[in-house]
Structure 1
Amino acid sequence: MGWEIRMSNSRGVPYYFNADTKESSWDTPEGLNQDEVKGLPGAHYLEGSGGKPKQVRASHLLVKHSGSRRPSSWKEPNITRSKEEAIEILRGYQQQIGNDAKVFGELAAQHSDCGSHSSNGDLGLFGAGQMQKPFEEAAFALDVGQISDVVSTDSGVHLIMRTA
């Protein structure tokens, strides 16, 4: 059989891939019924019940503070700012961004305290239970292209943009 379900990096949607033949398809391969599809490796990429995605893709801009789980980053070895100062910094970025995904990525690349800064804040695909709860809830609540308000987690304060 050889079929599995993978997620397209370019489109952000699942597709079928046959590891034996290297064939790929956006549509369910002939000869597979729904029960067989549900049993394929990667079936978790398919939409869940109620149209809610099993995974989302998001980018973020993180500003850490002295109360963060690890108050250091690639650009600052010892972060001493308060949470309130971190939120103020993030609000300034929020004003610059508006709803512009390009500006979001540029600011994340320059200023995010996360290692994802090197990919404009892109965290890739993630599902339930893979991120801290407040981050996960915010990301899953966004529509594609939408940017969150300030979200606070143990890592610091974030702006989150859902990308798929």
Structure 2
Amino acid sequence: MADSGLPSGWEVRHSNSKNLPYYFCAATKESRWEPPAETDTEKLKLYMAQHHTPAARADVSGQGEGKIRCSHLLVKHRDSRRPSSWREAEITRSKEEAIEILKGHEARIQSGEVTLGDLAISESDCSSARKKGDLGFFGPGEMQKEFEDAAFALQPGQVSGITETASGVHLIQRIQ
């Protein structure tokens, strides 16, 4: 494995929602956008140029073997992994309230009143909202298991039922 210049235990991962690299420490489960202290920035620059430029990631971020593309609408609740979002600094609703909100969104989508993507722009608690909930292409092992199981069960164009993950409750639409 190439030397990234990161301190021991840290690795570079790629955010599907922001389509950007970030830094993750498996031991502490800490993730951050900025490199951790004690990073060898010269080694990191070389590593990032070799492994995390658009050209280097073409096989990972494009439609590769076994990858699908989905959009989603996320409603977080107070027991979510991170109970805050771009919409609300502190999310205090219960999981049951989040599910009721999502049921209302689901009914509007099913009736044809609005698309999941158009609704995600204003109603999703995920930062992918600005991209109509589009998470880009992903393959097995790249998303939370419950999300992945629901997403891979869909045919292109289909919208899932309510799917619960540690992040909150989702409606998922398979794009490709």
Distance in 2, Cα, partners of 1:142 & 1:101:
21
Gaps of 5+ in 2: 1-57
Tell me which residue corresponds to 2:175. 163
Tell me which residue corresponds to 1:108. 120
Deviation at 1:42, TM superposition (A): 3.5
Tell me which residue corresponds to 1:87. 99
What do you get for the CA RMSD once the two structures are aligned? Answer: 1.9
Deviation at 1:134, TM superposition (A): 0.3
Q: Given that residues 99 and 146 in structure 1 are in contact (C-alpha distance below 8 angstroms), is that contact kept between their aligned partners in structure 2?
A: no
The one-letter code sitting in structure 2 at the alignment partner of 1:42 is: D
Where do 4+ consecutive residues of structure 1 move more than 4 Å?
Answer: 99-102
Report the structure number with the largest CA radius of gyration: 1
Tell me which residue corresponds to 2:87. 75
Deviation at 1:146, TM superposition (A): 0.1
Q: Given that residues 116 and 123 in structure 1 are in contact (C-alpha distance below 8 angstroms), is that contact kept between their aligned partners in structure 2?
A: yes
Residue identity over aligned pairs, in percent, reads 56
Deviation at 1:102, TM superposition (A): 5.7
Q: Given that residues 108 and 114 in structure 2 are in contact (C-alpha distance below 8 angstroms), is that contact kept between their aligned partners in structure 1?
A: no
Deviation at 1:112, TM superposition (A): 0.0
Distance in 1, Cα, partners of 2:142 & 2:84:
22
Tell me which residue corresponds to 1:124. 136
Distance in 2, Cα, partners of 1:110 & 1:84:
21
Gaps of 5+ in 1: 1-40, 47-53
Q: In the TM superposition, what whole-angstrom CA distance separates every residue of 1:1-42 from its partner, at most 9, and x where no partner exists?
A: xxxxxxxxxxxxxxxxxxxxxxxxxxxxxxxxxxxxxxxx83
Q: Please state if 1:45 is matched with 2:64.
A: yes
Q: Structure 1-normalised TM-score?
A: 0.67
Deviation at 1:45, TM superposition (A): 1.7
Distance in 2, Cα, partners of 1:125 & 1:81:
31
Q: Structure 2-normalised TM-score?
A: 0.63
2:75 to 63, 66, 79: 63
Equivalenced residue count is: 117
Distance in 2, Cα, partners of 1:161 & 1:151:
11
The one-letter code sitting in structure 1 at the alignment partner of 2:59 is: G
